[in-house]
Structure 1
Amino acid sequence: MRLRFLRLIRIAGLAAASLAVIALAATGAARSEDAPTTMIILDGSGSMWGRLAPDNRAKIDIAREKLGALLSAPSKARVGLIAFGHRRRGDCNDVELIAPPDAARQDVLDPIAKLNPKGPGPVTAAIKMAADAIAQSRPAQIIVIADNADNCRQDSCAAARDIAKSSPGVAIQVIGVGVPANERPRLACVAEATGGRYYDITDSNGLNAALDETTKLAILSPGEVAGATEPTTPPPPPAGASLRASAALVEGGPLLKVPLTWRVYKTGGTTVLGQGFDKDISVKLPAGEYDIEAELGGIKVRRPIKIADGEAQSIVLPLDAAHLAVRAIAAKGATPATTAVLTLSSSDAPVSIQRGGMLDVYLKPANYSLIVVDGTARVSQTLSLAAGDDKPVDIMLSTGTLKVSATGGDGKPLSDVLLTVETDDPESPNGRREVARSRSSDATFSLTEGTYYIGAHSANGSVSKRVGIGAGQSVSETLAVKLVPVTISALVAGAAPKADQNIFYRVDRIDGDRVSIARAIGPALSLDLSPGRYRVTASLAVSHLSASQEIAVEDGKPAKAVIDIASGQVNFVPAAGAVPAFGDVYWEVSDTSGMPIWRATGSEATAVLAPGKYTVRFDVRDKHGKAAFEVRAGESQKIEIGPG
């Protein structure tokens, strides 16, 4: 007799999206002020009609089925829905807020059932709309279910970074369904930027580990735990089924409500006769002996059962396991710290490493070591778990958030700046120790409560300030590096440099820390300097000429310096008939000591020379010429040289 599973849940990559909303309410239940808020973004682009192996079902159909089933579970959660690409082909503006977070649950369910994929994929516009819909509600998150990155020429990564800054505490979980390998980074960055996670779904089998991880996306009200719940006695099998199997942490314990992976075998066999993914499984089996297996995370239990002809029975598989749900929080009553990393180990071997401030795992009974790191905070704790434990743990980090930005004298962000955070340390040479740094002009640091010294350092100046951070506080500071715009130019032979006369500029500070500030080549130099005294040098490299000038830069007063490179310009030409019509002329200028200081070739030549007396000569074939001349600063002259 052929097996027919009445409640076999097809395992599909899109089930991950559904698991994320396992705790959503079915109707407009009463909501508390701290009820979690979630915006679901469902891909309605035409590619969602693509099919997933091995079930060969359309991705959108799997999404409809699973979301529809799990959106009926009661909780205090507030849920909204956004879809894109579902109304018009080729329209990148096709993004719709179908249901705001306060909508009745049926207003979310009905549109999901009717969604008809057809258009492009404006993912970026959808996540921006979701963040706007969430507004200031916390705790909150966005769940994106999509089968490709944005194809409407928008930068999803940049949008996610903006959301992380403007809406702290809103994590974006991204479930990528059959996303091409070259497009995955453009979706994964969205989750990474906001403290969420990216799930790479490629087919409907072999993803048990990933599916278990997605249960952590369940939307819980503060104090709720995604785990065991009443009752302890399983319900009877539905009509037509001969077996219903449920699971509990221990014998006689409450039934689990989280999805497990179920498999059915002939007794002692290895061929899977059927499988499902749900909190329980109901099947119709012919009389005989079977093994039923339940898997949750790293826990796997297999139990023999015997089905008599015409018999219907319900069983509970005890996992002999414990459930641990950890939240890392900055202070009492705070939401999970999205930048915290939690590492759970057993016998020095990592068991689970999670970002986003939460860790939710099912474990074998044992002693475990938990380490939570968030910025400068590091908290460790030893946990002893026994079979049947359903343990929520809050780790208090006693941290605050420090947002630091740096601007220049014009109030605009500095393009090249180093932000530093230091704390008192008597053992350090200068009495302080650096604990964090960033090359961004706008950075956020997680710091344990205490007093710190923040600094902004640019190539041309720096500023520092003392700040205090309390647990759970968010402090913002803008450091203005007082810089003054300075323009430096040069004169060559009494005039502005010509296009081919590159000037080498050097700026050195001559008070305080005597350091070289800048070096550049060009007709002029514009830069910002902090108030102080400087020496500016301008050199005409090809002529070995240079000049220096000291300048004083005062706060709030733009400065300008013109450096006169004392020199004159001389144009050398042979007298008419002095040289053959063809052939290069070799020119050489010597100073009064006879030392050659300049050479050139050509029918005529131009030299820029320091004031003084010189001799010039030319040679071409058997013709020679020589003349003495004098250069005066700022003058230009032409010298004709005849043979002799």
Structure 2
Amino acid sequence: MHKLKKLVLGAVAALGLAFPAIAAERAIIVLDGSGSMWAQIDGKARITIARETLDSVLSSLPDDLELGLMTYGHREKGNCGDIEMLVEPAPGTGAAIAAAANEINPKGMTPLSDAVRLAAEDLRYTEEKATVILITDGLETCEVDPCALATELEGQGVDFTTHVLGFGLSDEEGRQVACLAENTGGKYLSAQNGADLVDALTTTVAQVVKAEPKPEPAPAPAPVADHNYRPSASLAEGGPNIGDGGSDDLIWEWHQVNADGSKGEWIGTDYYARFKGTLPPGDYIMTAKYGYATAEQPVTITKNEVASPHFVLNAGRLLLHPRASEGDEVDRDASTEVNANGAYVTTAYGEVALYVPAGEIAVTVKLGSAMVERTYTLKAGETIDEDVILGAGIAKVNADYVEGMKVEDGDLAVEIFEAKKAIDGSRKSVGYAYGPDSSFDLPAGDYVAVAKMDAATAETPFTVEAGKAVDVSVFLGAGVLALTIPEAKAVEIFEAKRDIQGNRKSVAYGYETEMQKVLPAGDYVVVAEHHDGSGEFEAPVTVKAGERNEYTIEAATAGKSKSK
């Protein structure tokens, strides 16, 4: 029996699930078809695991269950509208869904929020009971807030539910999509491998088809609280509670209390801002975390009472928008290091949206060698929201053997220096790269580009203006010297001209019978050591710029070398 078949049968048996032969509401599975689904888990692509899971779990379903399949990101890259219904909801679609999943070729974006919305609309969620099961290995990439969408669908739906299966997501990533389920009364289930995904899909499909018992008249029970712990938190004293505006990424943790009153062993965690739960009576140390802000306090849980402690995080929000120049889009390559009250917090890239402790906030924003440092005073409950203009431009640097003959070799080395020299004549290096088409983000100013290819080196001055790109070409005035020396053990290349002491300058060496070097145009002498150790022999060569200069040198016809 196929391994995944065994897994799903075991999962069904363990969960005690039996699909009843009664009418069930319509549902749509939304399967992630974005490019990241090619990532592997235990040597197997995520899309392959998902296909096998669908084939196994959906192989036996009630005849009257109407199930459909939708996917996204499977037809083209960069298109947030790439969403398609592959199988319309209908009875007996298990085999059709498995076949359609086998044809998905992941490649694009992750518009998971719009896909859930379209699935809900197809199910007529404002008129009938409806369920969407989302299987995703990534976060929303199309600028739609999944939490706000879930709240909207829950408010407009008759009885709408979304279950989210986070496939290969970290805990932090899971918290960012869990609200799609939690805000609609559904389940968020984490799956880190094929067995987890089988369990998760089996559980959610069973939720769709399970029978609902007919209500029986019963006397109204005496009101009893279904929880004994319901905390709240705010950024500032007297401020609104976190979660009242729809945000749900607040983390609650509770720990045992040590004999000395300090925080002891971790007991549990919840990720819902409006969390309420039941804890065994006793003493705890409770912690609230929101972004990079934290508050904790001791809490005592007693029987038949609801503890409602409030946590003041003493924090605010930092919104920064790094731009190369005024009017530019936010640069995703810009890095922002954030320190709060002298302690390192994090380094973010591109747009910065963080909750951080109130106080002195120091940030260092970098783009290439462009840098801006700022210090803010952030008050609890307040938001700092501003652009950071780095005043940078882009230099695109290439080298030519001669004008019009570009160097395409990856061994090309390019270094950028500030044009201004120090008192000792040196210049400050601000960037280094290899290969053609090297790009540098630089503050506005004057620079020198130095290109080096083997023994050929040249430099070109240039100027960068903020918000503009400049193309820089460095002309090496060089050619390629290609040598074939069958009897050589070692080879060294010298400039032909001797200095006043009679010495020649060495420019390259090697230990092969064939070698190739880029050299400035000019005359050279090749000195080879005979492979049998009988001595050295030499031959003159000439390198012409922009040409391949090929020479074959044999000991019998070359001159004997006595000195270099």
Pick the aligned partner of 1:402 from 392, 395, 403.
395
Any conservation in 2 of the 1:506–1:538 contact (CA below 8 Å)? yes
- Could you state the TM-score of these two structures normalised by the residue count of structure 2? 0.54
* Cα 1:518–1:96 shift into 2, 3 Å: closer
How far did 1:406 drift? Answer: 4.3
Any conservation in 2 of the 1:539–1:565 contact (CA below 8 Å)? no
* Cα 1:338–1:552 shift into 2, 3 Å: same
Residues 284-310 of structure 1: CA deviation (Å, up to 9, x unaligned): 899999997533234124486999989
Counterparts of 1:426-505 in structure 2 under 5 Å?
426-430=421-425, 432-477=427-472, 479=474, 481-489=476-484, 501-502=487-488, 504-505=490-491
How far did 1:482 drift? Answer: 4.4
* Cα 1:298–1:320 shift into 2, 3 Å: closer
* Cα 1:91–1:178 shift into 2, 3 Å: closer
Pick the aligned partner of 2:337 from 343, 348, 360.
343
Please tell me whether residue 367 in structure 1 is matched to residue 343 in structure 2: no
RMSD: 5.5
- The CA distance in 2 between the partners of 1:528 and 1:536, in whole Å, is 14
Please tell me whether residue 95 in structure 1 is matched to residue 106 in structure 2: yes
Counterparts of 1:149-228 in structure 2 under 5 Å?
201=170, 210=172
Which ranges in structure 2 are unaligned for 5 or more consecutive residues?
A: 1-33, 38-45, 54-78, 86-96, 123-130, 145-164, 178-224
Pick the aligned partner of 2:541 from 547, 551, 562.
551
Which amino acid in the other structure matches residue 452 of structure 1?
Y
Pick the aligned partner of 2:408 from 402, 405, 413.
413
* Cα 1:522–1:275 shift into 2, 3 Å: closer
Counterparts of 1:109-188 in structure 2 under 5 Å?
113-114=132-133
Residues 614-634 of structure 1: CA deviation (Å, up to 9, x unaligned): xxxxxxxxxxxxxxxxxxxxx
* Cα 1:360–1:316 shift into 2, 3 Å: same
Residue 132 of structure 2 aligns to a residue whose secondary structure is helix
How far did 1:372 drift? Answer: 2.5
* Cα 1:519–1:397 shift into 2, 3 Å: same
Which amino acid in the other structure matches residue 334 of structure 2?
A
Structure 2 counterpart of 1:329: 323
- The CA distance in 1 between the partners of 2:322 and 2:231, in whole Å, is 35
Please tell me whether residue 106 in structure 1 is matched to residue 117 in structure 2: yes
Any conservation in 2 of the 1:463–1:481 contact (CA below 8 Å)? yes
Residue 428 of structure 2 aligns to a residue whose secondary structure is strand
Residue 46 of structure 1 aligns to a residue whose secondary structure is helix
- The CA distance in 2 between the partners of 1:96 and 1:438, in whole Å, is 30
How far did 1:354 drift? Answer: 0.9
Any conservation in 1 of the 2:396–2:437 contact (CA below 8 Å)? yes
Residues 88-128 of structure 1: CA deviation (Å, up to 9, x unaligned): 699697427698799676237789935679xxxxx9xx99x
More deviation, 375-384/446-455: 375-384
Any conservation in 2 of the 1:99–1:107 contact (CA below 8 Å)? no
- The CA distance in 2 between the partners of 1:355 and 1:444, in whole Å, is 22
Please tell me whether residue 508 in structure 1 is matched to residue 491 in structure 2: no
Residues 56-101 of structure 1: CA deviation (Å, up to 9, x unaligned): xxxxxxxxxxxxxxxxxxxxx9676799xx9569969742769879
- The CA distance in 1 between the partners of 2:515 and 2:301, in whole Å, is 89
Which amino acid in the other structure matches residue 367 of structure 2?
D
Residues 460-516 of structure 1: CA deviation (Å, up to 9, x unaligned): 3123222322223344545454432334456xxxxxx5xxx4364322124699642
Structure 1 counterpart of 2:239: 253
Structure 2 counterpart of 1:383: 376
Any conservation in 2 of the 1:259–1:280 contact (CA below 8 Å)? no
Please tell me whether residue 46 in structure 1 is matched to residue 13 in structure 2: no
How far did 1:430 drift? Answer: 3.5
Residues 229-250 of structure 1: CA deviation (Å, up to 9, x unaligned): xxxxxxxxxx988986553322
Which amino acid in the other structure matches residue 95 of structure 1?
P
Pick the aligned partner of 1:519 from 509, 518, 522.
509
Which ranges in structure 1 are unaligned for 5 or more consecutive residues?
A: 1-38, 51-76, 118-122, 141-175, 180-198, 202-206, 216-238, 491-496, 569-608, 611-644
- The CA distance in 1 between the partners of 2:550 and 2:268, in whole Å, is 83
Residue 425 of structure 2 aligns to a residue whose secondary structure is coil
Which amino acid in the other structure matches residue 414 of structure 1?
D
Number of residue pairs matched by the alignment? 395
- The CA distance in 1 between the partners of 2:497 and 2:374, in whole Å, is 52
Any conservation in 2 of the 1:80–1:103 contact (CA below 8 Å)? no
* Cα 1:356–1:468 shift into 2, 3 Å: same
How far did 1:421 drift? Answer: 0.2
How far did 1:453 drift? Answer: 1.3
* Cα 1:78–1:310 shift into 2, 3 Å: farther
- The CA distance in 1 between the partners of 2:282 and 2:543, in whole Å, is 94
Residue 532 of structure 2 aligns to a residue whose secondary structure is helix
Residue 278 of structure 1 aligns to a residue whose secondary structure is coil
- The CA distance in 2 between the partners of 1:470 and 1:422, in whole Å, is 16
Any conservation in 2 of the 1:402–1:444 contact (CA below 8 Å)? yes
Over the matched positions of the two proteins, sequence identity in percent amounts to 18
- The CA distance in 2 between the partners of 1:512 and 1:338, in whole Å, is 53
Which amino acid in the other structure matches residue 517 of structure 1?
V
- The CA distance in 2 between the partners of 1:560 and 1:329, in whole Å, is 50
Any conservation in 1 of the 2:341–2:359 contact (CA below 8 Å)? no
- The CA distance in 2 between the partners of 1:337 and 1:392, in whole Å, is 16
Any conservation in 2 of the 1:507–1:518 contact (CA below 8 Å)? yes
- The CA distance in 1 between the partners of 2:479 and 2:373, in whole Å, is 48
